[in-house]
Chain A
């Protein structure tokens, strides 16, 4: 009996161990030294477009492969990269947001891409081809000057180390280039042209004009709410930029938002909220796009400020949605806001708008690669493909994101797309696609005028952002006065 017992148990243990050894032997990991690991948060449709770039890379550089992993959303990419950094299995290239990179920096694996950006050096590597060992020479590692010149400046500046809070133990040079923009999105104003026609006004270009339009709309349709704003935090951060009050800084005490400029603006919007002009997605409870698409007569809204990423949901039910840049703030010479364009001391209109969307960061030394430098160079070749004009056009058209190169807008194919035509240049796009292309037109304007800005990144910048959401909500709903809301937020961020 005892023998039977022990035998049975041993069999179980062996079967278990056997199965697992077999599975462990079926190692899914490829040739670490010649595989570039790329993490992104692309959905499958975008991954299909990226596949083209992967294919191009693998054909151009035989012997090398790219493994493109999609761990999920941005947060999951962050989580996976961070875990990988702990285990030493970090990818060579990853999608990132600035505050992610602020965390990666202390790992010491973030590559300063200035090394390769304009490098004219050639590089030769060997691989095992069909005829045994072969060599392949890359004529020029880096981009050409024209390429770099055509990068959107606002996007490009984002990747400099100077906009980061740098931990003490980071050895990168202070002008290092830690990320490159991939594709970007921003906020735009969707509006209902029919409603504006009925009110007899044009498209508002400043906040003052927008409030005037709201007043008119409110008088005409009592129970409408003229403006829906998707993201409270974006609103605060954008207005900080436009009106010249401070939000956060990369160095020192990061949290600077508790200031008079912010209070003044918050007082102003609280007043507008009480007049029934505005709502936000959270306060409304449903999608602001739902409010917008049904129109003012059905108690909806006329303007909706939201991300270009969600453009396809803004198609009106009984009108054709139009897209415009978000309103600006008239300011004087010092950047202080003035009442209107005709007010005394008016100098120009500040049209700053937020820049969102993924950048890419290069990490080195993952998976114990035997020749990290070679891998860095090859990864950079892949970056070159991702940022090439041709790929940016494809990706921009497929996704509705704004390309990061300005020269894309000169491309004939892309212009056809911007004009609301399909790829064959004849068919008019269906309503939802049309809005995406209209959004891209606005993106072009914004891009050419360099209206984009980014807020500094540091560990905890996402907390500050979340707090701004609360501040705007508290103030609009009248739960807290602006000064108390800001003071509480400051405390919640860990400020003393």
Chain B
């Protein structure tokens, strides 16, 4: 039975092919069922069936006026949409699944020549090992709490300040007129093309000369301005019709008031996206904190989680495989999983704000 789980056998190929065929077949069956049900009932009750599969959630559409043939077509198309999405979801999920199961394998199993689809033996201690990392490094005064505080302080501050700067800058670039605006914008865009690796050394020297090493400042300041998001938000702002601006001007609203009262609510989904992405970026930052803040007490969660990845011999004598100096990939994967989990929760939380859309705030169009 375990051999079935090995990647070597041709059965796996068939298994995957079967999976695809199954998805397709399920789609076919659903199509057939829907059509059958539709034909059995009269046109009016069929609306209910099709209504559930309707596109773009337009419940108010007068479906009854549609032709019968169109409806059959619609059902088929809907099924295709689901098949397409399912295949994409499998494509997106498979590597993630692999990461999760790898994080639960023993290093010996991971190093098997033929990888296994499912762990023979769940090694939950991989996660335990990562949690016990800092307690063993007594050279610094870093504790998990300290590192968590660092990450939250830096994450919140750089997200809030970053989003404020992004909004203000994007607004000026989108709506205000001042000399050299276009040149400034072109210059900003041009900097996106230059690899950040080029800055790293120069910026390191800058902060070292300012004696900013081992501070929060050095983690926040250099990444506050993100041209990517300024550009995105500027595009969004530009889509808001000019007439609104004129109207606001007539109402005696200042630029700033217009920005806060009209623009920000209208672009709320994008702003939530930017906030989320910005926070994920800070959460995942790793190379720069490690370089500038050598003292572990000033590092971030990802530094902490990825520190070493080796099978440390714990003070209480515990170790996974008797201790060692080589870094273990299973631990690395466990670390990545642990870093991802809070972000996933954050995403699920933010999703409804991103996806709610502007339909409720109305004035768009």
The listed residue (B214, B291, B307, B308) touching A79 by CB distance below 8 A is B291
Q: How far is the CA of A19 from the CA of B154 in the complex (A)?
A: 11
Given A44-B307, A45-B310, A87-B208, are A27 and B322 neighbors across the interface (CB < 8 Å)? no
Give residues of chain B (125-143) contacting chain A, Cβ–Cβ below 8 Å: 133-134, 136-140
Q: Quick check: which of A238-246, A289-297, A444-452 contacts chain B, the rest being far away?
A: A289-297
B327 within 8 A of A: yes
The listed residue (A12, A19, A70, A72) touching B164 by CB distance below 8 A is A12
The listed residue (B252, B293, B325) touching A43 by CB distance below 8 A is B325
Give residues of chain A (48-63) contacting chain B, Cβ–Cβ below 8 Å: 48, 50-51, 54
**Chain B interface extent, by class:** 35 or more
Interface of B is mostly: loop
Q: How far is the CA of A150 from the CA of B314 in the complex (A)?
A: 31
A426 within 8 A of B: no
The listed residue (A43, A312, A401) touching B309 by CB distance below 8 A is A43
Q: Quick check: which of B107-115, B230-238, B274-282 contacts chain A, the rest being far away?
A: B107-115
B-chain residues with CB within 8 Å of residue A289 when the two chains form the complex: 111
Q: Quick check: which of B59-67, B95-103, B294-302 contacts chain A, the rest being far away?
A: B294-302
B-chain residues with CB within 8 Å of residue A50 when the two chains form the complex: 139
Give residues of chain B (188-217) contacting chain A, Cβ–Cβ below 8 Å: 200-201, 204-205, 208-217
B-chain residues with CB within 8 Å of residue A47 when the two chains form the complex: 136-137, 139
B214 and A28 contacting across the interface, CB-CB below 8 Å: yes
Quick one: closest A residue to B114, CB to CB? A286
B22 within 8 A of A: no
Interface of A is mostly: helix
The listed residue (B134, B295, B310, B326) touching A67 by CB distance below 8 A is B295
A312 and B307 contacting across the interface, CB-CB below 8 Å: no
Q: How far is the CA of A457 from the CA of B135 in the complex (A)?
A: 38
Given A16-B161, A45-B310, A50-B139, are A29 and B291 neighbors across the interface (CB < 8 Å)? no
B227 within 8 A of A: no
Given A43-B325, A289-B111, are A69 and B295 neighbors across the interface (CB < 8 Å)? yes
B-chain residues with CB within 8 Å of residue A28 when the two chains form the complex: 213-215, 293, 295, 297-298
A-chain residues with CB within 8 Å of residue B321 when the two chains form the complex: 312-313, 432
The listed residue (B108, B168, B210, B323) touching A433 by CB distance below 8 A is B323
Give the Cβ gap from A182 to chain B, nearest Cβ, in Å.
Answer: 13
Q: How far is the CA of A310 from the CA of B293 in the complex (A)?
A: 30
A43 and B217 contacting across the interface, CB-CB below 8 Å: no
Quick one: closest B residue to A67, CB to CB? B295
Quick one: closest A residue to B221, CB to CB? A20
Q: How far is the CA of A409 from the CA of B263 in the complex (A)?
A: 75
Quick one: closest A residue to B133, CB to CB? A44
Q: Quick check: which of A2-10, A255-263, A330-338 contacts chain B, the rest being far away?
A: A2-10
The 3 closest A-B pairs by CB, nearest first: A28-B214, A45-B312, A43-B308
A-B contact list, 28 entries, CB within 8 Å = A1-B253, A1-B254, A4-B256, A9-B168, A19-B157, A19-B161, A19-B220, A28-B214, A28-B215, A28-B293, A28-B298, A29-B211, A29-B214, A39-B294, A44-B134, A45-B313, A45-B323, A48-B313, A51-B138, A80-B291, A83-B204, A84-B208, A87-B204, A293-B111, A312-B321, A313-B108, A313-B321, A400-B325
